[in-house]
């Protein structure tokens, strides 16, 4: 699910309609029309998905820290809520405009149903169709935020006036501790990029496909010395990419440099793609990512760096979708890795897919049998989003890169049109049992481990470590309980930790140390790789 470091979250807006009774009339309300044009400062033609956002002006001003609203977006974790409309634009020339019907494709409803009043409105042209994954990013074209009364008596015009600047990868969040900020230059000097063209993935796609990431070398690393280091393969969650590892890299370097983490080589792997996250699964839609990692990239890295090439010296860790990816890699390639420490992993048992039993008769991801809505996002006991709201907004924002579409691209069989078959109907929430049967036989980790345990036991026993909060934001603790029950039933050795009250986003924190769990995990890995080491952890916190 959503990455813990993601700056722009993309969902929801149902608050605009909360408690509003829409009067019935004999004639339907006229559709809300807007005109968006390429401003005079933009000189190149553009195409993409045109998105229109509106939020109640009074509520937005109240929520803004300084009363100034310079961006209108949809955010499931923030106070501002927005209504969204969309249409595809094939080519918009400089000075040219296009009309958008804000009732044709909209969430949570057509804009003609908005209560009359003042709104802030902003237009965004998503030029690379990745809004569902990254939000607005480099190259997207945006308008100024305009305050207007809706419904408008005439068609409002919104000029797209500027492009979103490129993201600088080597930057830290303003909240980063000073000790971590001071470590950035040295961390950067000890980090090298990965840009490896995979033969297997290139053959699958018919064009060159790179595998990207970063290699962080520990203090004292010297390629001329014989010492070899244990290696940690780490990957991000949904919304992450190769440019968003800076915080993880610097925190890891600071931990090793201070003695609070043992010296190991860390490989930060990008699992983002145009379809969402490929999760290093071998997929009929995304290609053989697991094969490419284990048979191509890892051997290439081990030939270049002084890495411990034994299974007992290779480890996995990841959070959220990265947690699922590392669980998958450990169970699919148990002879390659010496253990996974997967935190808040996406559902590893599809009897609990964020709370929904996909195998139940007449399963529906939107509604329970009693008609009540399945929640998807919670915080401190309060439901922030339903499964239905999440999925329907994703559909408006675009066909590619969304969380639900990403699951289909990883898990589903390929349909007749060459696209993955959807696991559920986006209109009704009804689950397709044939697609779920495919999911089960190929990607239900609990089922696959149980079905293949006699073959897996020798190489997998004792290597699974899962840490998740009991208040996980996306209800992912449920599936982890089920995976634990399966392993316990097999008599397998495993390590499951359910941290009381922890959510998806504060799992790693303890007291003032926001990476306490990372430090603990690193020492547990090191104890496996170097059981006789006398190296001791520095106890003081960063």
**Percent helix, strand and coil across the chain, each rounded to 5?**
30, 25, 45
pLDDT of residue 201: 98
Residue 17 predicted with pLDDT over 90: no
Angstrom distances, CA of residue 377 to CA of 141, 385, 389, 495: 30, 5, 10, 26
**N-term to C-term CA, the chain:** 28
Residue 500 predicted with pLDDT over 70: yes
Q: What is the pTM of this model?
A: 0.92
pLDDT of residue 40: 84
With bands split at pLDDT 50, 70 and 90, how would you rate the model's confidence at 25? very low
pLDDT digits (tens, 9 = 90+) for 366-376: 999 999 999 99
Residue 10 predicted with pLDDT over 90: no
Residue predicted with more confidence, 442 or 68: 442
Is residue 375 a contact partner of residue 14, using CB atoms and an 8 Å limit?
Answer: no
pLDDT digits (tens, 9 = 90+) for 314-364: 999 999 999 999 999 999 999 999 999 999 999 999 999 999 999 999 999
For residue 481, give both structure tokens: 């309980």
* Percent of the chain at pLDDT exceeding 70: 93
pLDDT digits (tens, 9 = 90+) for 428-474: 999 999 999 999 999 999 999 999 999 999 999 999 999 999 999 99
Distance, CA of 395 to chain centre? 16
Q: Which stretches of 168-253 are assigned E, i.e. beta strand?
A: 191-197, 210-216, 231-235
Residue 13 predicted with pLDDT over 80: no
pLDDT of residue 26: 44
pLDDT digits (tens, 9 = 90+) for 279-298: 999 999 999 999 999 999 99
pLDDT of residue 29: 60
Name the CA radius of gyration of the chain, rounded: 24
For residue 285, give both structure tokens: 């839609």
pLDDT digits (tens, 9 = 90+) for 190-242: 999 999 999 999 999 999 999 999 999 999 999 999 999 999 999 999 999 99
Q: Whole-angstrom Cα distance, residue 484 to residue 407?
A: 22
- The domains located in the chain, with CATH, are 14-163 (2.60.40), 179-204+223-228+247-264+285-351+445-529 (3.40.50.1820), 375-440 (no CATH)
Residue 116 predicted with pLDDT over 70: yes
pLDDT of residue 16: 42
């Amino acid at each position: 699910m959503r990455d813990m470091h993601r700056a722009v979250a993309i969902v929801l807006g149902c608050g605009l309609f909360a408690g509003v009774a829409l009067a019935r009339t004999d004639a339907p309300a006229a559709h809300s029309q807007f005109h968006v044009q390429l401003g005079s400062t933009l000189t190149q033609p553009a195409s993409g998905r045109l998105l229109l956002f509106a939020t109640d002006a009074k509520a937005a001003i109240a929520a803004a820290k300084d009363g100034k609203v310079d961006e209108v977006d949809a955010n499931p974790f923030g106070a501002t809520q927005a209504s969204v409309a969309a249409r595809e634009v094939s080519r918009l020339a400089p000075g040219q405009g296009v009309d958008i019907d804000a009732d044709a494709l909209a969430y949570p409803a057509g804009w003609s149903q908005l209560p009359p009043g003042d709104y802030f409105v902003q237009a965004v042209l998503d030029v690379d169709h990745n809004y569902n994954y990254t939000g607005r990013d480099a190259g997207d074209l945006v308008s100024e935020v305009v305050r207007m009364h809706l419904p408008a008596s005439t068609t409002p015009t919104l000029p797209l006036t500027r492009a979103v600047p490129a993201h600088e990868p080597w930057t830290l969040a303003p909240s980063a501790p000073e000790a971590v900020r001071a470590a950035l230059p040295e961390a950067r000097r000890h980090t090298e990029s990965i840009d490896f063209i995979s033969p297997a993935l290139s053959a699958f796609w018919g064009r060159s496909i790179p595998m990207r990431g970063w290699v962080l070398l520990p203090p004292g690393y010297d390629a001329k010395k014989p010492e070899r280091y244990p290696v940690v393969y780490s990957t991000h969650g949904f919304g992450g990419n190769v440019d968003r590892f800076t915080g993880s890299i610097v925190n890891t370097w600071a931990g090793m440099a201070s003695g609070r983490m043992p010296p190991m080589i860390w490989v930060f792997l990008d699992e983002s793609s145009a379809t969402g996250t490929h999760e290093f699964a071998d997929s009929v839609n995304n290609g053989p990512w697991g094969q490419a990692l284990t048979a191509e990239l890892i051997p290439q890295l081990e030939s270049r760096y002084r890495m411990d090439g034994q299974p007992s010296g290779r480890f996995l860790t990841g959070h959220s979708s990265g947690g699922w990816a590392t669980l998958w890699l450990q169970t699919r390639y148990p002879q390659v890795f010496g253990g996974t420490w997967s935190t808040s992993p996406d559902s590893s048992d599809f009897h609990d897919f964020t709370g929904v039993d996909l195998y139940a008769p007449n399963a529906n991801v939107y509604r329970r049998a009693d008609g009540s809505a399945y929640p998807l996002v919670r915080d401190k006991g309060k439901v922030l989003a339903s499964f239905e709201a999440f999925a329907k907004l994703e559909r408006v924002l675009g066909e590619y890169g969304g969380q639900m579409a990403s699951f289909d691209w990883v898990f589903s069989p390929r349909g007749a049109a060459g696209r993955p078959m959807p696991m559920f109907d986006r209109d009704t929430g009804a689950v397709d049992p044939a697609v779920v049967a495919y999911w089960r036989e190929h990607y239900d980790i609990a089922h696959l481990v149980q079905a293949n345990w006699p073959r897996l036991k020798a190489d997998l026993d004792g290597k699974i470590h899962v840490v998740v909060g009991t208040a996980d934001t996306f209800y992912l603790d449920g599936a982890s309980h089920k995976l634990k029950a399966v392993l316990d039933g097999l008599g397998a050795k495993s390590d499951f930790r359910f941290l009381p009250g922890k959510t998806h986003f504060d799992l790693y924190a303890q007291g003032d140390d926001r990476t306490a769990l990372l430090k603990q995990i690193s020492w547990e890995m090191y104890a496996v790789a170097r059981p006789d080491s006398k190296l001791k952890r520095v106890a003081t916190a960063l």
